[in-house]
Structure 1
Amino acid sequence: MAATGEDLLAIEGLPGDRVAALLTAGGVPFSELRQHRASLEEAYMELTRDGVEFSASGR
């Protein structure tokens, strides 16, 4: 879970209906739940972020 803006909270690992139930049970007001799916490019960049094909030498 991460606060990504003044009025925005990102939650990973829980389905939307579970998030809504927890917010409601806790008395936390909310106006919208939105699911984000990574694009193919975002998924590729995440999977390959630590791979380095080329690097500059320190010479």
Structure 2
Amino acid sequence: MIEYAATAEVKQGMARAHEARAQVLRDALTWMFFRRRESSHGIRISRWASARAS
């Protein structure tokens, strides 16, 4: 890791930014890979497709 001279406020700000980035990454991975139970049960066919099949 690169060493740097920073005040306590800067270090705290960088730690908060790191936590915020980590939360965004967790949210994105959850959104991409989490299977929602509601969506698997609610498969719908459009009215246009059902009218053409009749």
TM-score interval (norm. to shorter)? under 0.3
Q: Which structure has the higher relative contact order (CA within 8 Å, separation 6+)?
A: 1
TM-score between both structures, scaled by the size of structure 2: 0.24
Bigger strand fraction: 1
Bigger helix fraction: 2
Quick check: which has more Rg, 1 or 2? 2
